[in-house]
Amino acid sequence: MSKLIYEKSAPGRRADNLPRLTPAEAAMKLRIPHKYFREQDAELPELSELDVVRHFTNLSRKNFSVDANMYPLGSCTMKYNPKICERIASLDGFSALHPLLPQLRGGGVLTQGALEVLYETERWLGEIVGMDAFTLQPMAGSHGELTGMMLVAAYHKDRGNRKTKVIIPDSAHGTNPSSAAIAGYTVVTIPTGADGGIDLARYEAALDDDVAAVMLTCPSTLGLFERDILKIAALAHKRDALLYYDGANLNALLGRCRPGDLGFDVVHVNLHKTFATPHGGGGPGAGPVGVKARLIPYLPTSIVVKRSDGTFALEYERPKSIGYIASFYGNFGIILRAYAYMLLLGREGMRRVSENAVLNANYIQARLKSRYDLAYDRLCMHECVFSASRQSAKGVHAIDVAKALVERGIHPPTVYFPLVVKEALMIEPTETESREQMDELIDAMLEIADLAEHDPAQFPAMPRNTPVGRLDEVKAARDMCFKA
């Protein structure tokens, strides 16, 4: 059984190798009263550097990762993370830059390269999604959603509109309603219609003058393009409701269709999905927000401007701004990687992304639909959603299909989301998977379908070849052991 790092500790062992104080420095008397000191040393482990290296090297080997396994998680866009982007992010001229430098007089001069990266990234993103301006401050997708909703609130407040509601489809990711609520809105949920799009009749009925915004993901979390989007947008705008785009599924539209052209007023983009920055085991990400011109005055402080002499500066004087969304300019290290990725792809590369992402998902859908129930029988976009209901009838649920895939070395698709599909299995291969790799997934799922028919009893024990088997989640919630 694997040991915690604390369990490998041996008193007196040290890895640290810090600079020594010179006699002059050591001779200084610290003017801190004794009672301001901590009473006991922090119980951090005592290890050699090799102990530390072995521990984390071995830990890493227990993970599935894009670099080692296919990871078709729907809605997550687990595409390949180009290594050149990692190399660029570690350049000293970027990584050693203190964020307060531009706030010093003469400091702007010291950060022109970084400011140019921010400025250019905003311009590229604006062109890609059809928006007039961007803020790169949001540090994650849901952070972008909150920022977007705060912009909506500022816009309406400035116009003297008293609107309290936001319309969200029931297929939306949970971050949508929770972000709207934090921005002070009440959420009105609209059901998904029979064809997989939003129920247009219910939408129209719910749209009144009290609606501040409509939050949509397009294609939806069902992987389906919202066919009535132009109508949906027109109806919203007639009521002075703003249309918000959750960019989680932008990979399906890259280079072919722009949310701005569909009528969206505010957009957030997930750099860690569409723009290939690494997922990091759960972050860091970045969720820049783009807006149409009428929302520019409300963008968070500060913004990057290009002066007439071609140099870059930060503008802080923004009377209508919603204020500070992040401490500085956003997750710069992530923005850097995304910018490099955009430069690598260029115009043609972007278009190839959506073409292949959509082709791949449809291929998987076509080959699996005879054995797994399709939630909606129409061509999908970059992800396809199945229901494991046929298998459930034999006692094999979506979670069992997932564990069976783990046993076969493939990371499972997203399960039990979106909530509108029972026993949901959401598969998003992305454009970076080869046909052979997809065939491996397809073959595995067909084999699993067979097994569900003939020998469902095998499933509860799976996965049998991982460091641990299925874990007792009830015990975890009840015991509440969160630290060593």
Q: Which of residues 443-482 bind other proteins (CB under 8 A)?
A: 461, 463, 466-482
- Distance, in Å, from the CA atom of 300 to the CA atom of 150, rounded to the nearest integer, reads 10
- Distance, in Å, from the CA atom of 29 to the CA atom of 17, rounded to the nearest integer, reads 23
Q: Which residue has the tokens 């008397």?
A: 29
- Interface stretch with other proteins, choices 102-110, 203-211, 235-243, 447-455 (CB under 8 A): 102-110
CA–CA distances in Å: residue 78 to residues 55, 73, 277, 340, 430? 27, 7, 10, 18, 7
Q: Does 100 bind other proteins (CB under 8 A)?
A: yes
Structure tokens at 64: 């599935």
Q: How many residues bind other proteins (CB under 8 A)?
A: 210
Footprint (CB under 8 A) of other proteins, residues 78-97: 78-82, 84, 86-88, 90-97
- Smallest gap from Cβ 454 to other proteins, in A, equals 23
Count Cα neighbours of 466 within 13 Å in the Cβ-side half-sphere: 19
- Smallest gap from Cβ 455 to other proteins, in A, equals 19
CA–CA distances in Å: residue 445 to residues 15, 40, 372, 388, 465? 47, 55, 9, 11, 18
Q: Does 17 bind other proteins (CB under 8 A)?
A: yes
Q: Out of 190, 296, 314, 334, which residue is the one contacting other proteins (CB under 8 A)?
A: 334
Count Cα neighbours of 123 within 13 Å in the Cβ-side half-sphere: 10
- Distance, in Å, from the CA atom of 241 to the CA atom of 264, rounded to the nearest integer, reads 11
Q: Out of 353, 398, 425, 451, which residue is the one contacting other proteins (CB under 8 A)?
A: 353
Q: Which residues pair with 233 in a beta bridge?
A: none
- Smallest gap from Cβ 386 to other proteins, in A, equals 16
CB nearer other proteins, residue 211 or residue 454: 211
Instruction: Collapse the DSSP code of 198 into the 3-class scheme (helix H, G, I; strand E, B; otherwise coil) and give the result.
Output: strand
- Smallest gap from Cβ 452 to other proteins, in A, equals 19
Footprint (CB under 8 A) of other proteins, residues 57-76: 57, 59-69, 71, 73, 76
Q: What is the CA radius of gyration of the chain?
A: 25
Q: Does 366 bind other proteins (CB under 8 A)?
A: yes
DSSP symbols for 412-447? --EES-STTSTTEEEE---TTS-HHHHHHHHHHHHH
Q: Does 403 bind other proteins (CB under 8 A)?
A: yes
Q: Does 227 bind other proteins (CB under 8 A)?
A: yes
Q: Does 104 bind other proteins (CB under 8 A)?
A: yes
Q: Out of 300, 373, 420, 427, which residue is the one contacting other proteins (CB under 8 A)?
A: 300
Q: Which residues pair with 243 in a beta bridge?
A: 214
Q: Out of 207, 211, 262, 448, which residue is the one contacting other proteins (CB under 8 A)?
A: 262
Q: Does 393 bind other proteins (CB under 8 A)?
A: no
- Interface stretch with other proteins, choices 171-179, 202-210, 385-393, 420-428 (CB under 8 A): 171-179
- Distance, in Å, from the CA atom of 164 to the CA atom of 173, rounded to the nearest integer, reads 21
* Cα–chain center distance at 391: 30
Q: Does 205 bind other proteins (CB under 8 A)?
A: no
- Interface stretch with other proteins, choices 120-128, 198-206, 239-247, 444-452 (CB under 8 A): 120-128
- Interface stretch with other proteins, choices 17-25, 235-243, 386-394, 447-455 (CB under 8 A): 17-25
C-beta of residue 289 within 8 angstroms of C-beta of residue 155 = no
CB nearer other proteins, residue 349 or residue 456: 349
Q: Out of 132, 158, 162, 184, which residue is the one contacting other proteins (CB under 8 A)?
A: 184
